[in-house]
């Protein structure tokens, strides 16, 4: 019996960068498993918000999720942003509009779930209103205001140290113009965490 052991004897070959001894290294990847499995999504919207008419986005997830990015900037005006949990107020009106989640992995390399690409379990609707029970109990706040140049604010940056692991449920994202009509860009990026077999 040989006393010589090699790395492949202890682990799967897909953890190595090469089959050639002396050159192979352990594979290290900075990307998330959720990206390769097709469970990461984003929202990118140009927003044009008239004064006194907030844009309310209802974010509903059937599964727990990790929020990686939430970014607001303005090219004209002054936009204020609040986030609320469903239990923190009352929704009104009709959320008839919808924004489709955009997959972050649209390559041919992805994990199949029941024979198909993973389908997002998040819905993003807009058109209604949200009135908080306590206006000071918001769970996130941001503001972007122009002063002759594009203003930008980032409340969640990419990276493990700033990610938020949130429960399945409904969240209301309220963007209000504090000027006349404000124009800007609003983005979200998240990974869905369903119970996996």
24, 16 contact by CB (below 8 A): yes
Site of tokens 């290294």? 25
For residues 62 and 170, is the Cβ–Cβ distance under 8 A?
Answer: no
Q: Is 5 contained in some domain? A: no
Which tokens is 6 given?
A: 């090699």
Name the E strands within the chain. 40-49, 55-61, 65-76, 78-85, 89-92, 97-99, 102-103, 112-113, 116-117, 122-126, 129-132, 140-145, 151-156, 164-166, 169-177, 182-192
Residue-wise pLDDT tens digits, 54-109:
999 999 999 999 999 999 999 999 999 999 999 999 999 999 999 999 999 999 99
| Cα distance between residue 99 and residue 92, in whole Å | 19
Q: Assess if residue 11 is contained within a domain.
A: no
pTM above 0.75, yes or no: yes
Distance separating alpha carbons of residues 55 and 77, to the nearest angstrom: 15
Residue-wise pLDDT tens digits, 141-188: 999 988 765 666 555 544 444 789 999 999 999 999 998 999 999 999
Query: Is 19 a domain residue?
Result: no
17-21, 39-43, 136-140, 190-194 — which is least confidently predicted? 17-21
Residues in the chain: 197
Q: Is residue 13 part of a domain?
A: no
- What's the alpha-carbon Rg for the chain, to the nearest Å? 22
Closest CA to 95 of 128, 53, 118: 128
Distance, in Å, from the CA atom of 196 to the CA atom of 97, rounded to the nearest integer, reads 31
By CB atoms closer than 10 A (0-12, 13-18, 19+), residue 100 is: exposed
Question: Contact at 8 Å (CB) between 62 and 168?
Answer: yes
Count structural domains, the chain.
Answer: 1
Q: Quick check: is 152 in a domain?
A: yes
Instruction: Judge whether 188 lies within some domain.
Output: yes
CATH code of the domain containing 66: 2.60.120.380
In sequence order, the β-bridge partners of residue 67 are 164, 190
Domain residues for 118? 31-192
The pLDDT of 105-120, averaged and rounded, is 92
Question: Is the Cα torsion angle 99, 104, 107, 109 positive or negative in sign?
Answer: negative
18, part of any domain: no
74 located within any domain: yes
């Amino acid at each position: 019996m040989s006393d010589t052991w090699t790395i492949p004897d202890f682990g799967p070959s897909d953890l190595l960068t090469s089959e050639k001894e002396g050159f192979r290294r352990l594979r290290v990847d900075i990307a998330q498993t959720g990206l390769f499995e097709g469970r990461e999504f984003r929202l990118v919207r140009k927003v044009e918000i008239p004064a006194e008419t907030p844009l309310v986005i209802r974010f509903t997830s059937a599964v727990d999720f990790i929020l990686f990015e939430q970014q607001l900037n303005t090219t004209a005006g002054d936009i204020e942003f609040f986030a609320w949990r469903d239990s923190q107020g009352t929704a009104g009106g009709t959320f008839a509009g919808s924004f489709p989640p955009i997959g972050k992995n649209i390559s041919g390399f992805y994990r199949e779930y029941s024979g198909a690409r993973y389908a997002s379990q998040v819905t993003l609707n807009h058109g209604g209103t949200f009135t908080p029970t306590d206006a000071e109990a918001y769970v996130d706040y941001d503001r972007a205001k122009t002063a002759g140049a594009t203003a930008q604010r980032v409340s969640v940056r990419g990276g493990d140290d700033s990610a938020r692991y949130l429960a399945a449920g409904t969240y209301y994202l309220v963007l209000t113009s504090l000027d006349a009509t404000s124009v800007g860009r609003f983005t979200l990026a998240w990974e869905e965490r369903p119970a996996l077999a």
